[in-house]
């Protein structure tokens, strides 16, 4: 972790560069998506919108992915200019989520020295949540 004066704390060679957390109310997110159909294309790339089976991903899952993108921005210090589609929330065969970054997000991560990402998603009781840890 980096403090305000630039001091880094961590164990071994890996350090925590940033941590972000976010929650999204699923019904509110669904209403926003319904009210603004183009929003999906501004927030997600096609691989995030569709399941491998060809079915459209459920709204709770999309809300969790949106929360992950918000948490990712917070882990990077919430700078302006990040593009939502430059962060992709992927799913491993095991079901574990992971992040793939490019463009504006990859540039900011490189500036900070991020070498690995850790992400956790959840949705229950009408709320989607995500935690992202940026490791250097």
How far, in Å, CA of 86 to CA of 88, rounded? 6
Q: Give the E-state strand segments of 41-101 in sequence order.
A: 87-91, 97-101
C-alpha 8, offset from chain centre? 23
DSSP letter assigned to residue 56: B
Q: Is 22 annotated as a binding residue?
A: yes
Between the CA atoms of 74, 80, 91 and 18, what dihedral angle is there, to the nearest 10 degrees? -30
25 is an annotated ligand-binding site residue:
no
Show the beta-strand stretches assigned E in the chain.
16-25, 87-91, 97-101, 116-124, 127-135
Q: Considering only CA atoms, which of 54, 50, 52, 74 is closest in space to residue 130?
A: 74
* Binding-site residue set for Mg(2+): 22, 70
* Binding-site residue set: 22, 70
């Amino acid at each position: 972790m980096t403090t305000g004066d630039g001091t880094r704390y961590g164990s071994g060679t890996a350090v925590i560069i940033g941590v972000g957390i976010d929650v999204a109310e699923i019904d509110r997110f669904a209403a926003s998506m319904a009210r603004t159909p183009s929003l999906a294309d501004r927030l997600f790339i096609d691989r995030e919108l569709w399941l491998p089976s060809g079915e459209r991903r459920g709204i709770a899952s999309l809300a969790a992915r949106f929360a992950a993108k918000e948490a990712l921005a917070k882990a990077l210090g919430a700078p302006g200019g990040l593009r939502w589609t430059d962060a992709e929330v992927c799913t491993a065969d095991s079901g574990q989520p992971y992040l793939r970054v490019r463009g504006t997000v990859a540039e900011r991560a490189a500036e900070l020295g991020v070498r690995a990402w850790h992400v956790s998603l959840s949705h229950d009781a009408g709320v989607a949540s995500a935690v992202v840890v940026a490791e250097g």
